[in-house]
Amino acid sequence: MSKSNTGNIEKIKLEFLSIRPKERIIENKKTWWKYAYQAIVEQRVKPYSWSRIKQTRENYRKYVETYKQIIQNPNDTELKLDLQKHEDRLSIINVVIARQQSRLMLKSRSIGEKNFWSMLPSPERLILCEKIGFFNKSPEDREEIDHKFNFRIGNLCISLLDHEKEICVLTMTQVILTWMPNFTDNTYSCNFKVEGFILEGTTEEDHLVSLISSEHLSNSPAYFLKVDFMKLPEDSKAAFKLKFTMDSVEIVYNKYSMDHLEEFLGHKYFQNEIDYPKLLCSVYEILEQKLKNKWDMEFNMKIPFLIIPDTGNILKTDNLLILDFGKHFLLTEICQTTEIDEGATQMELEEKLYTKLTIESSGIQVLLCDSSDNWREAKHENDSELHVVPKFGFNATYAYCVQLLKTIPK
């Protein structure tokens, strides 16, 4: 009981901390009586004044209207910011009531737009289903998701400090992870998405400059990174399904920031050079193994493009080298059948018995320009005066046979 009272007292202290006297009660009793009067008026009287009631009702109406728009457009970032602004002006009870009222208003509107089938009573609906030979599944037979877990971080900021000096700062917005298991079918679905991120590093003048950042243009999607992973039922043609989508990311080389970060972390993280042939072989082996395990994969991603200033500092440079590694689309086609028709031709066998991995790459280019040139506009063109290597692309298909036959390649 004493702990509960202590917690309530501390809560009241924090609520009226701005008008709380700094002197002790014995030193200035008049000030403390005035403080008690102001606190009681602020807590018991002012919330029920006409001006406060009118202001609360106005904030409540704005919150209801904004929340209804959020339900219809859940990916609108501006609406989320407006909702947060209105939410800060309401109590938790008003927020809960406002959300429930918004849902009921939208539900009542949808009820008014029901079709003829939905307005039929249950007995007449069953009779009609019986006449046409159609029967709805009972609720017990429907496939439903047992649980849904949603984790959301509105804004995440991580700083790396060296003697109270920021070396690098990572900021991420709207990080959302959703997991939906279905224990009945032993399946699950996982979704991960990030609205945007930026990694900043320090300069010689102790200023923070952008090193890695996601681009946000007028035609950019709401989330620059989206990953969907599903475990499918046993009777499906694929065991797992993976969908990966990533929009454009900009990397700016800054020599001072990289040297400072290397010095702080130690050389053990930077001493080994990347063995690119070995890395490509590892990626190839992983993809080959996933294909054999019947993974349905779809990758639609823009490889981060690199900006290299000739002086190592983009703020003090004359020339820039732009390396754009383009956009890559990767898609798998799982083999549907393993049965061989005796009268099948060679072409039909090759079409039916192969699992395929298709890669389409485009927009790979290299630009060299002055720092004053509009290279961002030139980057969208196929060729220009700034291009060292004009835009190009390639297509490739990898396929393997699900059965060992001497008449067709493996």
* pLDDT tier for residue 166 given thresholds of 50, 70 and 90: confident
Tell me how far apart the alpha carbons of residues 142 and 184 are, in angstroms, rounded to a whole number: 11
Tell me how far apart the alpha carbons of residues 181 and 176 are, in angstroms, rounded to a whole number: 17
Tell me how far apart the alpha carbons of residues 41 and 99 are, in angstroms, rounded to a whole number: 30
* Residue-level pLDDT at 105: 81
Can you tell me which residue has the tokens 């939905």? 118
| Category of 363 on φ-ψ map: left (φ > 0), alpha (ψ -120 to 50) or beta | left
Q: How many CB atoms lie within 10 A of CB 135?
A: 9
- The mean pLDDT of 42-49, rounded to a whole number, is 73
Instruction: Report the range out of 97-101, 108-112, 125-129, 235-239 with the highest average pLDDT.
Output: 97-101
pLDDT, tens digit (0-9, with 9 covering 90-100), for 271-290: 556 677 787 788 878 887 88
- The mean pLDDT of 200-218, rounded to a whole number, is 83
- The mean pLDDT of 126-154, rounded to a whole number, is 65
HEC string of 258-316?
HHHHHHHHCHHHCCCCCCHHHHHHHHHHHHHHHHHCCEEEEEEEECCEEEEECCCCHHH
* Residue-level pLDDT at 229: 92
* Residue-level pLDDT at 177: 92
* pLDDT tier for residue 243 given thresholds of 50, 70 and 90: very high
Least confident range of 299-313, 342-356, 367-381: 342-356
Looking at the predicted structure, is the pLDDT value of residue 139 above 50? no
Looking at the predicted structure, is the pLDDT value of residue 32 above 80? yes
Nearest residue to 247 (alpha-carbon basis) of 264, 275, 227 = 227
Q: For residue 220, give the amino acid letter.
A: S
Domain map (residue ranges) of the chain? 2-112, 149-401
Answer whether 0.75 is exceeded by the pTM.
no
Looking at the predicted structure, is the pLDDT value of residue 26 above 90? no
* Residue-level pLDDT at 365: 92
Q: Which two tokens stand for residue 237?
A: 């043609």
Tell me how far apart the alpha carbons of residues 201 and 256 are, in angstroms, rounded to a whole number: 9
Least confident range of 229-238, 338-347, 352-361, 399-408: 338-347
Work out whether strand 387-401 and strand 354-370 pair parallel, antiparallel, or are unpaired. antiparallel
Q: In terms of pLDDT, which residue wins out, 74 or 353?
A: 74
Maximum distance among all Cα pairs of the chain, rounded to whole angstroms: 106
Per-residue DSSP letter, 43: I
Least confident range of 14-28, 153-167, 221-235: 14-28
Q: Which two tokens stand for residue 106?
A: 């939208």
* Residue-level pLDDT at 93: 84
* Residue-level pLDDT at 227: 93
Looking at the predicted structure, is the pLDDT value of residue 9 above 60? yes
* Residue-level pLDDT at 78: 81
Find out whether 175 and 194 touch, Cβ atoms under 8 Å.
yes
Tell me how far apart the alpha carbons of residues 201 and 199 are, in angstroms, rounded to a whole number: 7
Per-residue DSSP letter, 112: H
* Residue-level pLDDT at 178: 92
Looking at the predicted structure, is the pLDDT value of residue 140 above 50? no
Tell me how far apart the alpha carbons of residues 53 and 205 are, in angstroms, rounded to a whole number: 51
* Residue-level pLDDT at 110: 61
Q: Which two tokens stand for residue 92?
A: 């938790």
Q: Which two tokens stand for residue 264?
A: 């702080």
Looking at the predicted structure, is the pLDDT value of residue 130 above 80? no
Q: How many CB atoms lie within 10 A of CB 254?
A: 23
